[in-house]
Amino acid sequence: MINLILFGPPGSGKGTQAARLVEKYKLVHISTGDLFRYEMGNNTPLGQQAKAYISQGELVPDEVTIGMLRNKVEAHPDAKGFIFDGFPRTIPQAEALDLLMAEEKTEIHTLLALHVPDEEIIKRITLRGETSGRSDDLDENIIRNRIDVYKSETSPVYDYYAGQDKSHSIEGLGTIDAIFDRLCAVIDAIGK
């Protein structure tokens, strides 16, 4: 079993790379952003709750996010492993994830952090905003707020897993294929 965290700022390519990693390693992909967008699309109470935060580029409160994540993990008892994309985004989320993994008699094996400069992020997300329908892709101020929230609230999660010798930095600029190869090299070196 191998459990990965795909980490990095908004627009760094987490979703793009997760789709490929899932194919290659046969893992279950859990993106909390995708889960929230599904709930918002169906106008569920959870979606309504999340919408106010997401449209401003703020984080949804931990208790809401952690509960949703736990349900999703528990729905896949036979998984060969998980790719967590966009989770954990705070230290309490990281602690909750470690606890959940321990309950499942497993652990997080590695955190892969994609590095992409702010200006490239803004370019990518603005371009995607032309077609994505995402309320948080439309306004440069909201995109910049997402980047600020990443730096202040989320980047400490990298250090948290570095403290367990699990964090790896990956250059997130270049072709999608080249970045995929960099990620696979780290995963294959773990050899689980």
Does residue 20 touch Mg ion according to CB under 5 A? no
Distance CA 131, CA 126 (A): 10
User: Letter for the amino acid at 180?
Assistant: F
Q: How far is the CB of 1 from ligand AP5 (least distance, A)?
A: 22
7 exposed, middle or buried (CB, 10 Å; 0-12, 13-18, 19+)? buried
Q: Which two tokens stand for residue 176?
A: 């999608």
Taking residues 58 to 77 in sequence order and writing x for each that binds ligand AP5 by CB under 6 A, - otherwise, the string is xxx----x------------
Is 151 catalytic? The answer is no
Q: Are residues 112 and 26 in contact, defined by beta-carbon separation less than 8 angstroms?
A: no
Closest CB 26 distance from ligand AP5, rounded Å: 20
Q: In the set 53, 155, 169, 182, which binds ligand AP5 (CB under 6 A)?
A: 53
Residue from 1, 15, 135, 184 touching ligand AP5 (CB under 6 A): that is 15
47 forms part of the interface with Mg ion (CB under 5 A) = no
Closest CA to 7 of 152, 157, 175, 179: 157
The answer to the question of residue 176 lying near ligand AP5 (CB under 6 A) is yes
Q: Which of 28, 166, 160 is nearest to 88 (CA)?
A: 160
Size of the site for Mg ion (CB under 5 A): 2
The least CB distance from residue 89 to ligand AP5, in Å, is 4
Give least dist CB 12 to ligand AP5, A.
Answer: 4
Task: Classify the C-alpha dihedral 32-95-107-159 as positive or negative.
Answer: positive
d(CA 109, CA 34): 23
Alpha-carbon gap, residue 26 to 149, rounded angstroms? 31
Per CB under 5 A, does 15 bind Mg ion?
yes
Applying CB under 6 A, does 87 fall inside the site for ligand AP5? Answer: yes
Query: Could you list the residues that contact ligand AP5 (CB under 6 A)?
Result: 8, 10-16, 31-33, 36, 53-54, 57-60, 65, 86-87, 89, 93, 124, 128, 136, 146, 176, 179
